[in-house]
Structure 1
Amino acid sequence: MEIGRSLIASTRTLTLPLAQAVEKLYEMGFTRIDVNYANLERSGVDDPSVLTHFRWALLTAAKIGAEPVTLHAPWEDYFLLPLGRGIEHAVAEAKLFIEMAYSYGVEVVVFHPFSAKHVGSHRVEWLNKRFFAILAEYSEREGLSVIAVENAARGQPWRRLEKLAELVRRISSPMLQVCFDTGHGNLNGYSLDRAAKILEDVPIACMHVHDNNGVSDDHSIPGTGTIDWSRARYLPEEALRRIVVEIDCKAAHHVCGLHIAAAFAATRRLLLGQAEKP
């Protein structure tokens, strides 16, 4: 594994429109990029325009030579309207993101699972199994990007890593993997070694790396919260292939660039065991 190549900067750190965030990250020297829906939400982009904005951001990356390694699809709320017309409509909408991502070289598309709050506790597990099984079968058949389902911060039952692992295990497709979010895990009492144990028999496509105080989803620089990073040694090497440094910053973009650099240095030291080179 190439240590330097595993780290990925997320557009969500910059308070800029999505395509501009891609361009600015590249100008700052961060060539491997996570194209994140958070920028569109913050910019107030309406749902019918979301795909267009994602496509423009990916086209921008292609033009300047950046590598869009991962793409974070819209939150579950985005898919609720098509889901109301039937699961096949929500699947069709999700396929558009997967197809678009693959056409621009994205390796992993991350989705949030539907929560019991929005789809009902009586069908939440069945619906997610059906939704992600169809997507995984489609992506495998067509040779598209890997689909990763992320552990939730609050949504039931997917805040529990055991349930997420069970979902991926039951579908059993090489194209459906886990996106392990360290901050969300910390909010729900999962140390890194406990998480590694729970996820030991399921494939991990990527990690979202950030810290918090164990109470709020702060997306802080690793090492500034309550996560015990010494337990990172228990994580499998597979989990370290794609590390999305997913911190938040509300300052001007040039200041946030310094925050990203600090977060990269902290991640190398705490998660990868590598000191920053002079």
Structure 2
Amino acid sequence: MPAAGFIASTRTLRLPLAEAVERLYDMGFRRIDVNYANLERSGVDDPSVLSHFRWALLTAARLGADPVTLHAPWEDYFLLPLGQGVERALAEARLLLDMAYSYGVEVVVFHPLPAKHVGSHRVEWLNKRIFSALAEYSEREGLSIVALENASRSGPWNRLERLAALIRSVASPRLRVCYDTGHGNLNGYSPGRAAEILGDMMACIHLHDNDGTRDEHAPPGTGAIDWSQAGMLDSEALKRVVLEIDCMAEPRVCGLHIKAAEAAARLLLGPGG
């Protein structure tokens, strides 16, 4: 069971990002995941993304909340700067990493670039080039951990074996995995199997469930995931479990959904599953 408690994601509340941080705090959540999904839903344009992240992190600092994790923009966000060269994309990622660390974020989660965007012939080379450089920068400057999330559908990063091989090839303590339980389930991985493949590469966990066909972001225990061996997940990662569930209701009701998901997670991640 997570020693430091669960992390509530702003993603669950369909509000602007900074407002979602404030509402989670008012609901009693102190450990928060600052998630790009809120910016996408609010229609924030790319040039304004970093300023919105900064305002949300300032809000957390003002309230005394702990922004443990930050979900970087989806991979599409980095394609435009990447078109100007790898160094331009890296500069954008470094800006985000600098800002996140300055507000106490422990882990910044990125989606690795999929083959459909960058080509199957260079997908592994390009991701290794970008994330090894970002991990080296983080290690040199003592910044937040960089964690790559397993994809829901896009190859090759929907396969945990491929993601693990990428992390091993970089061999940096600053580059790890954020294991997404729902994405794993869509690709045939149980939490127990993920633990066997990823081991201590995990820095955090995105916890949600689904029926095995759609990325529902449903509360844990309400879908088809086999949680029986969830206790095998890395003990350090279990200290950063993000309740990344979706809710279409008003914020007060969604707050109750997070509380219910938290209660279910305590049962499912405890000793013996």
Scaled by the length of structure 1, the TM-score of the pair is 0.96
Q: Is the 8 A contact 2:202 2:234 kept in 1?
A: no
Deviation (angstroms), 1:237 = 1.4
Matches within 5 A, 1:55-204: 55-200=54-199, 202-204=200-202
**233-242 or 75-84, larger mean C-alpha shift:** 233-242
Residue 269 of structure 2 aligns with which residue? 271
SS at the partner of 2:67? strand
Residue 239 of structure 2 aligns with which residue? 241
Deviations 1:140-190 (A, max 9, x none): 001111100000001110000000000001100010011000000000000
Q: Is the 8 A contact 2:2 2:240 kept in 1?
A: no
Deviations 1:64-122 (A, max 9, x none): 11000000000000000000111111100000110000000000000000000000000
Q: Is the 8 A contact 1:268 1:274 kept in 2?
A: no
Deviation (angstroms), 1:239 = 2.5
Residue 36 of structure 1 aligns with which residue? 35
Q: 2:260 aligns with which of 255, 259, 262?
A: 262
Counterpart CA distance in 2 for 1:192 and 1:55 is 33
- CA distance 1:145–1:159, shift in 2 (3 Å): same
Counterpart CA distance in 1 for 2:245 and 2:151 is 16
Counterpart CA distance in 2 for 1:25 and 1:64 is 11
Residue 232 of structure 1 aligns with which residue? 230
Task: Could you tell me which runs of 5 or more consecutive residues in structure 1 were left unpaired when the two chains were aligned.
Answer: none
Residue 218 of structure 1 aligns with which residue? 216
Number of residue pairs the alignment of both structures matches? 273
Deviation (angstroms), 1:234 = 2.3
For the aligned residue pairs, the C-alpha RMSD in angstroms reads 1.3
> Runs of 4 or more off by more than 3 Å in structure 1?
none
Counterpart CA distance in 2 for 1:272 and 1:252 is 30
Task: Could you tell me which runs of 5 or more consecutive residues in structure 2 were left unpaired when the two chains were aligned.
Answer: none
Counterpart CA distance in 1 for 2:34 and 2:73 is 11
SS at the partner of 1:71? strand
- CA distance 1:2–1:264, shift in 2 (3 Å): closer
Deviation (angstroms), 1:19 = 0.1
Paired amino acid for 2:259: A
Q: Is the 8 A contact 2:2 2:238 kept in 1?
A: no
Q: Is the 8 A contact 1:70 1:108 kept in 2?
A: yes
- CA distance 1:214–1:91, shift in 2 (3 Å): same
Deviation (angstroms), 1:241 = 1.6
Scaled by the length of structure 2, the TM-score of the pair is 0.98
SS at the partner of 1:267? helix
Paired amino acid for 1:243: V
| Paired-residue identity, % | 71
Counterpart CA distance in 1 for 2:245 and 2:212 is 15
